[in-house]
């Protein structure tokens, strides 16, 4: 399989006349089609709702598109709550799934009427002390410990993860919350990240549905929703088979009918908090080759760096790269594709076979629509790029301007960098 960019070289040549590289480009058409497919895949469940994980792509223009398909916001910090409020997303359209939560964030989430998803048993007391009551609707995050497997494949290691309550704790939590006045309960778990298998959600659903039946029986709590959270992945590599959301939705339905319906829990709503799956494939980082270097290896230096996209440096993550206009040329050259940070891990690709790259070539770094721009940082004083939306009609809209030196220096109150300098 090959990976094809959602933008053509001709389109890019036009875009760069207005917006210099590097920049993030997002594909409106792809975002819409996928959001529609997610909604359709779970349409069998009356209460279904996707809470988009804001941290993945915190851009109001993009979140507004998802909203047209019924999506709410999954927030985990003060500024993510602010962004939601500014967009008019409040109340139960916000899921507040945080951990190690500062008191003022619980206060704010409660003020907005968000559903609070408690990460820990001790947060019950902390929340009650902080906001003065226990909300009527409340959710708890579960961590079964051990290894999370699908048949014999180890998917992830929840026993080593900082999130969620143990089985014992969650039973106790439900009992206490009920005594303190909670009336509607949610159950949440996120056990494996970036899964490229249609089995993840159904397997997780089975764990959570069986637990929900026991919880309802033993504690008498009314379970209103089960939140399968994020974790549906995308095929970063061209040889990976993409997930099929329709099959995933049907897989969850099957378990729902096997476990929840016979227990008289056929009214439970299914929630999701997908980030990567909603946006990942529909964003790319566009950069230009500005240097070539021939030493012990062959290097191409480009105008983007790990400050724009951290995943390769942080996780050794693979991101496919297309040299625009050379899609059909043979991959005869082995390159390290680097940014300009004074950090040797600032490489978008290592030993990657690509067509011969010439200075001035545009490189499209694929699948950066989630956990891409958002993870950016300012090391070496590098500035964050613009974000641009490629609309369905082929036109473009600037949805976040690039940072300027003024932005970078804005937090010094005691040191004047000087108007003239900062404007450069």
CB of 191 to ligand PLP, least distance (A): 11
81-100 footprint of ligand PLP as x/- string (CB under 6 A)? ----------------x---
Number of neighbouring beta carbons within 10 Å of residue 224: 19
Binding status of residue 273 toward ligand PLP by CB under 6 A: yes
Q: Which stretch binds ligand PLP (CB under 6 A): 173-181, 235-243, 273-281, 403-411?
A: 273-281
Binding status of residue 119 toward ligand PLP by CB under 6 A: no
Which of 276, 320, 366, 400 lies at the binding interface for ligand PLP (CB under 6 A)?
Answer: 276
Q: Which residue number is nearest to ligand PLP in terms of Cβ?
A: 230
CB of 229 to ligand PLP, least distance (A): 5
User: Of 124 and 274, which CB lies nearer to ligand PLP in the complex structure?
Assistant: 274
Buried-state track 29-41, b at ≥16 Cβ within 10 A, e below 16: ebbbebbeebbeb
Binding status of residue 140 toward ligand PLP by CB under 6 A: no
The CA angle 318-56-3, to the nearest 5 degrees, is 35
Q: Which stretch binds ligand PLP (CB under 6 A): 225-233, 295-303, 336-344, 357-365?
A: 225-233
Phi-psi region of 70 (alpha: psi -120 to 50; beta: other; left: phi over 0): left
Provide CB contacts within 8 A for 410, sequence distance 6+: none
User: Of 174 and 190, which CB lies nearer to ligand PLP in the complex structure?
Assistant: 190
Q: Which of 176, 184, 177, 188 is closest to 144 using CA atoms?
A: 188
Which of 248, 274, 284, 388 lies at the binding interface for ligand PLP (CB under 6 A)?
Answer: 274
User: Of 204 and 274, which CB lies nearer to ligand PLP in the complex structure?
Assistant: 274
Binding status of residue 58 toward ligand PLP by CB under 6 A: no
* Residues within window 177-206 making contact with ligand PLP, judged by CB under 6 A: 190, 193-194
Q: Which stretch binds ligand PLP (CB under 6 A): 26-34, 52-60, 200-208, 319-327?
A: 52-60
Binding status of residue 370 toward ligand PLP by CB under 6 A: yes
User: Of 93 and 273, which CB lies nearer to ligand PLP in the complex structure?
Assistant: 273
28-41 and 245-255 helices, crossing angle to 10°: 20
Binding status of residue 77 toward ligand PLP by CB under 6 A: no
Q: How far apart are CA 56 and CA 72, in angstroms?
A: 14
Q: How far apart are CA 396 and CA 61, in angstroms?
A: 13
CB of 394 to ligand PLP, least distance (A): 28
95 phi, psi to nearest 5 deg = -105, 125
Q: Which of 277, 289, 243, 283 is closest to 372 using CA atoms?
A: 283
Q: How far apart are CA 251 and CA 240, in angstroms?
A: 20
Provide CB contacts within 8 A for 126, sequence distance 6+: 101, 103, 106
Total residues at interface with ligand PLP (CB under 6 A): 18
> Residue 270: enclosing H or E segment and its boundaries?
strand 269-272
Question: Are 287 and 382 spatial neighbours (Cβ–Cβ below 8 Å)?
Answer: no
284-323 footprint of ligand PLP as x/- string (CB under 6 A)? ----------------------------------------
Which of 35, 41, 56, 289 lies at the binding interface for ligand PLP (CB under 6 A)?
Answer: 56
Which of 12, 35, 38, 53 lies at the binding interface for ligand PLP (CB under 6 A)?
Answer: 53
Which of 27, 28, 74, 105 lies at the binding interface for ligand PLP (CB under 6 A)?
Answer: 74
Residue 344: asked if its preceding bond is cis (omega within 30°), the reply is: no
Which is it for strands 153-156 and 148-150: parallel, antiparallel or unpaired? antiparallel
The CA angle 414-415-421, to the nearest 5 degrees, is 150
CB of 73 to ligand PLP, least distance (A): 11
Binding status of residue 229 toward ligand PLP by CB under 6 A: yes
Binding status of residue 148 toward ligand PLP by CB under 6 A: no
CB of 55 to ligand PLP, least distance (A): 6
The CA angle 355-374-200, to the nearest 5 degrees, is 80
Q: Which stretch binds ligand PLP (CB under 6 A): 234-242, 267-275, 332-340, 378-386?
A: 267-275
Burial class (CB in 10 A: 0-12, 13-18, 19+), 344: exposed
**Which residues on adjacent β-strands are paired with residue 395?**
none
Which of 144, 275, 281, 376 lies at the binding interface for ligand PLP (CB under 6 A)?
Answer: 275
Residues of the shown chain interacting with ligand PLP in the complex, contacts defined by CB under 6 A:
53, 55-56, 74, 76, 97, 190, 193-194, 229-231, 273-277, 370
């Amino acid at each position: 399989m090959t990976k094809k960019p959602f933008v053509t070289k001709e389109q890019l040549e036009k875009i760069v006349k207005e917006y210099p590289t590097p920049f993030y480009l997002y594909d409106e058409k792809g975002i819409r089609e996928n959001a529609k497919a997610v909604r359709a895949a779970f349409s069998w469940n009356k209460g279904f709702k996707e809470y988009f994980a804001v941290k993945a792509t915190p851009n109001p223009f993009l979140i507004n598109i998802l909203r047209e398909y019924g999506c709410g916001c999954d927030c985990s910090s003060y500024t993510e709550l602010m962004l939601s409020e500014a967009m008019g997303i409040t109340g139960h359209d916000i899921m507040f799934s945080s951990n190690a939560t500062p008191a003022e964030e619980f206060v704010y989430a409660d003020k907005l009427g968000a559903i609070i998803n408690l990460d820990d048993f001790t947060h019950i007391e902390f929340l009650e002390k902080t906001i003065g009551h226990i909300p009527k609707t409340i959710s708890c995050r579960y961590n079964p410990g051990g290894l999370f497997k699908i048949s014999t494949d180890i998917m992830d290691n929840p026993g080593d993860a900082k999130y969620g309550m143990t089985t014992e704790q969650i039973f106790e939590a439900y009992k206490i919350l009920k005594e303190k006045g909670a009336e509607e309960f949610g159950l949440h778990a996120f056990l494996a990240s970036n899964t490229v298998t249609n089995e993840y959600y159904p397997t997780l659903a089975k764990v959570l549905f069986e637990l929900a039946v026991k919880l309802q029986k033993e504690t008498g709590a009314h379970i209103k929703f089960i939140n399968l959270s994020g974790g549906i992945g995308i095929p970063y590599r061209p040889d990976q088979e993409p997930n099929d959301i329709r099959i995933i939705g049907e897989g969850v339905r099957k378990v729902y009918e096997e476990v929840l319906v016979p227990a008289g829990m056929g009214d439970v709503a299914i929630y999701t908090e997908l980030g990567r799956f909603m946006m990942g494939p529909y964003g790319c980082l566009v950069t230009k080759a500005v240097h070539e270097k021939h030493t012990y290896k062959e290097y191409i230096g480009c105008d983007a760096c790990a400050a724009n996209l951290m995943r390769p440096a942080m996780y050794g993550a693979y991101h496919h790269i297309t040299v625009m206009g050379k899609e059909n040329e043979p991959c005869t050259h082995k390159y390290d594709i680097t940014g300009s940070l004074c950090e040797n891990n600032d490489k978008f690709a290592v030993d990657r076979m690509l067509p011969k790259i010439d200075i001035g070539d545009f490189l499209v770094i694929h699948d950066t629509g989630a956990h891409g721009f958002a993870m950016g940082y300012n090391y070496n004083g590098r500035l964050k790029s613009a974000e641009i939306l490629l609309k369905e009609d082929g036109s473009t809209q600037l949805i976040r301007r690039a940072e300027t030196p003024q932005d970078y220096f804005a937090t010094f109150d005691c040191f004047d960098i000087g108007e003239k300098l900062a404007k450069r």
